[in-house]
Structure 1
Amino acid sequence: MTLPRINMSLLRITSLACLALLLGACQSLFTPNMRAPLQVQRDASELIKPGCTTADCPLVNIDTVHFPDEPKLDAIVQKTLLQLTVADSSTPPPASIKAYQEQFLNRAQGRNSSYLQAKVREQHDGIVVVELSSYLDNGGAHGNPGRAFINYSRQQQKVLTLADMVIPGKEQEFWQKAELAHQGWLVSSKMNEDAAFVQTWPFKRTPHIALTYGAVILKYPVETIAPYSMGHIELKIPYPQLNGIIKSELFPGRG
């Protein structure tokens, strides 16, 4: 007489298991695959000052990227590019790329030119690393280049700052590792043999940090830890050196 009850119990368990599998399959179907890279669309254009017919007309060159499946990141990239166009952080950036193009060309004289670029440096473990560049030529001895990084977490739907990357209380240790990387760069570039260089260009912190797959990258504005002629210096901190400092889920392959 108990067999029907057993069969009913087995049927109920089987039904619940099937339902769980079905729900899991549905969730996988509608949840983005963070291992698969985002689709990227390049958008490049160059505008010359209206009415100019000479060989060295003022121009604005834009080479950016769009993310059709991640509109939030798309907006962040365009906003960050526009922030590179203002020298003073207290000055509000232009409202749009188009507004910047019109504003610059209206004021530009002679051979003035502006270049803005955004490119995907890497995608891994649900993190999109975007590198942004700017170059403003106002007719001086040399132009003014700028750089920035965006570390966008697709899982968290936000840009990761250093505070998001490091374990609480470990930021000082992070910068100690960065200083060691700087010392290694001095040796590899042989600049450690130049006492005047070492004294003139000491280690400094930078806001430009990238969570690339091979290492954590620190990028420096020109004339920060080296003269203008050496460009934007990059320091690399291998992930094994950051065990117990960077949050473990941000290590490549662990996210």
Structure 2
Amino acid sequence: MPERRCNVLSPWLRAGALAALLALSACDNGPEQPEGEKQPAPADNGAAQQSEPPATAAPEGKLETREETLRRRADNCSGDDCAKVAVDLKLYEGHPELNQAVRRRMIRQLSGNGEDQGAPPKTLEEAADRFLTTAAGIPGDGARGWELSGESRQLGRWKDLLTVAIDSYEFTGGAHGLPVTRWLNWDLAAHRPVSLGQVINPGQEDAFEAAARRAHERWLEKEVDSDEDFRQAWPFQESSDFRLTRKGLVLHYDVYSIAPYVMGQPTLTLPWKDLEGVIREEYRPDGGQ
């Protein structure tokens, strides 16, 4: 089993202050609504907030999008295995604050989530150039196969809450690269990110954690049954990456968080029936599921 590397995940109590942050298709980004409901308004988690624009009516139906791409590769290198960078962003027409939040989060992930020394890059191009400069400093062909990539994609929309997945992947040798995903929830009416802490009723953090632990136990029973060694090696952790769906609140985990690399990026679903009184009413299904 590869060396375990724990993903640093923020507790629910700090998620409201955290500017945290995409596989449903990008073909339909209209609101996801529980049976027969109209549209109320939630939001997301994921960028440093500036002045908060006034709330407006959220757009109905499909949002207009455009693609933004970035391609870089090592200089003086030939062949398919040269160090390279590829970024593909889905951006939203008429939503500059959301696009800024997506770019900011992508830059952070491409630069190692702030783990690199020195001032963080300000643009995607700068993040790409830093990666290629590092690769160029590896002697011989040591940087052959190096890869840095990123993609933003729409996961879904719950009422006025749009969820965007921001994926990155870095390979610098070894058995495999490191994928990282953050989920950005964005309030289309208030033009701001919404964190996990903002959807939990005050004082209900312990109840939320209990619901998450029950979901984790169900996941363990399905995936590893009674494997006690696995349970000891990969205990429950909190996550601030979430989305709202018809089935309930879904938590996302990166590799090496609650499972080894080979099991990918797990998700836990907390059904609405387990979240009575826990999630703020404006974010719950209108039908009271």
TM over 0.5: yes
Which residue of 2 is the match for residue 205 of structure 1?
238
CA contact (8 A) 1:208 1:220 kept: yes
Identity of paired residues, percent? 26
Which residue of 1 is the match for residue 66 of structure 2?
41
List runs of 5+ in structure 2 lacking aligned partners: 1-55, 136-142
CA contact (8 A) 1:165 1:250 kept: yes
CA contact (8 A) 1:178 1:237 kept: yes
Which residue of 2 is the match for residue 50 of structure 1?
75
Q: How far apart are residue 156 of structure 1 and its match?
A: 2.3
Which AA in structure 2 matches 1:62? V
Which residue of 2 is the match for residue 251 of structure 1?
284
CA contact (8 A) 1:64 1:117 kept: yes
Question: SS of the counterpart of 1:169?
Answer: coil
Whole-angstrom CA distance in 1 between matches of 2:72 and 2:243:
31
CA contact (8 A) 1:122 1:213 kept: no
CA contact (8 A) 2:149 2:170 kept: yes
User: What is the aligned length?
Assistant: 223
Question: SS of the counterpart of 1:120?
Answer: strand
User: Closer, same or farther in 2 for the Cα pair 1:240/1:55, shift >3 Å?
Assistant: same
Question: SS of the counterpart of 1:118?
Answer: strand
Which residue of 2 is the match for residue 26 of structure 1?
none
Residues 35-74 of structure 1: CA deviation (Å, up to 9, x unaligned): 3232222223432223321231111111111112110000
Whole-angstrom CA distance in 2 between matches of 1:129 and 1:248:
19
Matches within 5 A, 1:80-95: 80-87=105-112, 89=114, 91=116, 92-95=119-122
Higher RCO structure, 1 or 2 (CA under 8 Å, sep 6+):
2
Query: Which structure: greater helix fraction?
Result: 1
Whole-angstrom CA distance in 2 between matches of 1:41 and 1:160:
23
1:60 to 45, 64, 85: 85
How big is the alpha-carbon RMSD for the aligned residues of Structure 1 and Structure 2? 1.8
Which residue of 2 is the match for residue 235 of structure 1?
268
CA contact (8 A) 2:148 2:168 kept: yes
Residues 204-236 of structure 1: CA deviation (Å, up to 9, x unaligned): 111212223432111112111111111111111
